[in-house]
Amino acid sequence: MWMLCSPGPNADNATPHLPSLITSTGSRNFFRRERKPKAAGSATNCLSCAHESGCDYSAKKIYLERHLNNGNADWPVKIVNPEIEDIYKTMGKEAAGKQLLKDLAEDYSVDTPTSEVEQRPWFGRCVWESDNDVCDDQMVTITWDDDSIAKDDDGLPLLYGRGAKTAQFHMIAFTEKQCERRGRIYGTKGEIEYDSTSIKVHDFSTGQSKTHSPHIAGGGHGGGDEGLARQFLMAINAVDAGAMPASDAQRQYLGCDLEEAFRSHAMVFAAEDARTKRQVVDWKKWWAESVESQLHQR
């Protein structure tokens, strides 16, 4: 949405090129009770499951063997119990491992009220017994029509780069690039291929490709967490000092304004409507009914 909808920083026309249609398909196909391995039986927790040693989704393998035993007490281990990171630093790996296994072993029974099961996370819970309804494979297609932002002397539309375009987003659980993004942008003059480490630009006119390797920051989301927090504080400082209004600070330090951020979040809900209702969503109609009508009510 930000890349294909919002105008560039020096654009003469600041009107966004809004999408036209959204479609989405996908569901939770694999992580269902019907797919549960027979060897797992009625187990609801990895640490009490006979199939644990042969399971690719064992919580013990993921949190303990893959992360903590290799020296990582940060994410995702500290999500299980925030104290594990301090235990690892002060008491060592063995003590941290014991605490982690204790937390992972927490389970429920058939007598546990459903409300109690649903109100808390169970990090050692069998993945096939989970009530998580997130899709494990989903495709979203966003379509833009030609945007006639100007006309010539004969009244015919001039596009000036606001032509029709399509974006496809594919999210899948089964991939080597876990929690990473990769993609390809096809343009009229070339294409750009990117992942979490490099950006390759190919020029159709010359047939040449150039690979760029930007600085890779540490921390969550490839350094994005710290980067956003830093830029956010810089924007606040600029407004607080009277150097610029909030709208200008948002664009200068964060690269987008509140309207763009709101619009991109709204797109997720529109895509989910398209998926669950099995329909093609008209963006302008959906926006008027689902967003503007709600704002007016307030």
Q: How far apart are CA 295 and CA 291, in angstroms?
A: 6
Give the per-residue pLDDT at 99. 97
pLDDT in tens, 251-294: 899 988 888 999 999 999 999 999 999 999 999 999 999 998 88
Give the per-residue pLDDT at 211. 98
Q: How far apart are CA 146 and CA 12, in angstroms?
A: 18
% of the chain beyond a pLDDT of 70: 94
Q: Give the H/E segment covering residue 237.
A: helix 224-240
Give the angle 22-24-25 at the CA atoms, nearest 5°.
160
The pTM assigned to this predicted structure is 0.83
Q: How far apart are CA 66 and CA 221, in angstroms?
A: 19
Work out the mean pLDDT of the chain and round it to a whole number. Answer: 91
pLDDT in tens, 120-158: 899 999 999 988 889 999 999 999 998 866 666 777 766
Give the per-residue pLDDT at 150. 62
Surface-to-core class of residue 273, CB atoms within 10 Å of its CB (0-12 exposed, 13-18 middle, 19+ buried): middle
Q: How far apart are CA 269 and CA 275, in angstroms?
A: 10
- Please say if the pLDDT value at position 298 is more than 60: no
